[in-house]
Each structure stands twice: as structure tokens, then as C-alpha cells.
Amino acid sequence: MSVLPVQTTWTRILNTILLFLVALEPYLFNTLPFFAPEQSSTGLFDVTSSVYAVDIGGIYGILALFTHTLTTEERELVTPDLLRRYKLSRNLEILVAISSSCQPYLNFSPSAFGTMSGPQRSSYVAGEA
């Protein structure tokens, strides 16, 4: 793990936003209706999973920006032999941020599968249908 030695206004702002998102994540995780989803179909519970996904996407997006700052070659903050690894890490963080942030707009709810049950549903999810 590397320490970001560059303290600019943008890194401070992003660090503050990251701190807020990290503090918000356990609250959102604890309000996800895991065990009794039929009892928690009102208010905050309807949007908790979407807000949680956007929160995780924001966390990984900010981490990708920090990693990008480290991989900027002009500043030489990372040794050249580790530069490829940091760029790969940055690209994976961007991928996770985009996929997490887009999750609320994709329909993976059980109602999307209609009346399928049991083996039919599992083969549809696995892509065999």
C-alpha cells in the first residue's frame, strides 16, 4: 500500500468525501433487508440496495482517482517496476466503480424472471436458456 504524498485541494476534498462514504457504508449495509424482505417494503428499504451500490461505486471511484494520481509518470511517485501493477489496480477499481454504480439501473430483481422457479430459474440465470 502506498501513501499519497501529494496534498492538493482536490485530494483533500476527495479524501473528505471518501471518509463520508466509508462512514455511510455500514449504516446502509445494516439496513439491507436480508432476512425478511417482505416486511421491509416501505420507505428507506426500497432504495437501500441502490444507494449502497452507488456508495460502493463512489468509494472505488475515489480510490481509482487516488491510484491514478500515484501512476502519473511525471511525478514519479511509484517506482517504474511497480507502475504496471498500479495501473492494473486502477483499471480494476474503475471497472468495479462503474459496475457498482450502474447496478441500480439494471434489473436483477426476482420479478424480472417472471414465474420461473427451481431449475428453470437457475438455468436462466446461468445463461443456459
Using one digit for the tens of pLDDT, what is the confidence trace for 50-60?
A: 888 889 999 99
Greatest distance between any 2 Cα atoms in the chain: 57
Who wins on pLDDT, 36 or 45? 45
pLDDT band of 2, cuts 50, 70, 90: low
What's the confidence (pLDDT) of residue 44? 65
pLDDT beyond 60 at 127? no
Q: What is the mean pLDDT of residues 39-60?
A: 78
List all residues 6 or more positions away from 5 whose beta carbon is below 8 Å from its beta carbon. 77
CA distance 126 to 95: 22
Higher pLDDT, 76 or 17: 17
Report, as an integer, the average pLDDT of 107-118. 52
The pLDDT of residue 59? 94
Q: Which residues contact 57 (CB under 8 A, 6 or more apart)?
A: 96, 97, 98, 99, 100, 101, 102, 103
Kindly report the pTM of this predicted structure.
Answer: 0.70
| Helix pair angle (48-71, 80-102), 10° resolution | 160
Give mean pLDDT, residues 24-47.
Answer: 72
Mean pLDDT (the chain, rounded)? 76
Rounded to 5 degrees, φ, ψ at 66 are -65, -40
What pLDDT does residue 10 have? 86
Provide the pLDDT for residue 55. 92
